[in-house]
Amino acid sequence: MDVTPLLPEGLQVIEGYGAGKFRISNIVYNSPVIVFPEFCVEWGGFDTDNVCVDSFSDIFNYEIKPDILLVGSGATTIFFPGVTRDKLRTKGVVIDVMNTGAACRTYNVLLTEGRSVAAALLPID
C-alpha cells in the first residue's frame, strides 16, 4: 500500500537524512539546509556555540515568511538563549528547536497539513 501523502507538485519533501546529508525532493545536500515548502537552500555559517538572531538572517532574506520555524539542531537538542527566541518572535515566527530527525518528521507532517512552515536543519554526523 502506498502511504505517500498527496501533495501539490513542487513542494519540498524531506525524504531522508543522516551521515552529514539530507535528501529533499530527490536532491542530496551535504550541508545544513533551510527548507521552505517551495524551495530548499544551503544554510551556511551557523555556529551552535554562538546562536543569535543573525544566525537566522538567511531565513528572513526571502519574501516567504513562515509562521513556524523548526530548527533541527543535529543529533541532540540545543537550547537557544531566551533573548534570541524573543527577538525571533517579534519577527512573527514561532521557533521550535528539536533534534534533526524530529524536525524532519514534523516538517513533513505540517507540510501535509498545509501549514506555513520552514525547517532550518543541521546535519547529523
* Domain, as residue range, for 112: 14-122
30 part of a folded domain? yes
8 part of a folded domain? no
43 part of a folded domain? yes
CATH number for the domain including 102?
Answer: 3.40.1230.10
Q: What is the DSSP string of 28-94?
A: EESS-EEE-SS-EEE-----TTS--GGGGTTGGGSS---SEEEEEESSS-----HHHHHHHHHTT-E
Number of domains present in the structure of the chain: 1
How open is the CA angle 28-33-37, to the nearest 5 degrees? Answer: 90
Does residue 3 register a pLDDT over 80? no
pLDDT at 83: 84
* 111 Cβ neighbours under 8 A, 6+ residues apart: 7, 11, 12, 13, 37, 117
What does the pLDDT look like over 32-56, one tens digit per residue? Answer: 999 999 999 999 867 777 787 888 8
pLDDT at 81: 82
78 part of a folded domain? yes
What does the pLDDT look like over 57-110, one tens digit per residue? Answer: 888 888 888 999 999 999 999 888 888 888 888 888 889 999 999 999 999 999
5 part of a folded domain? no
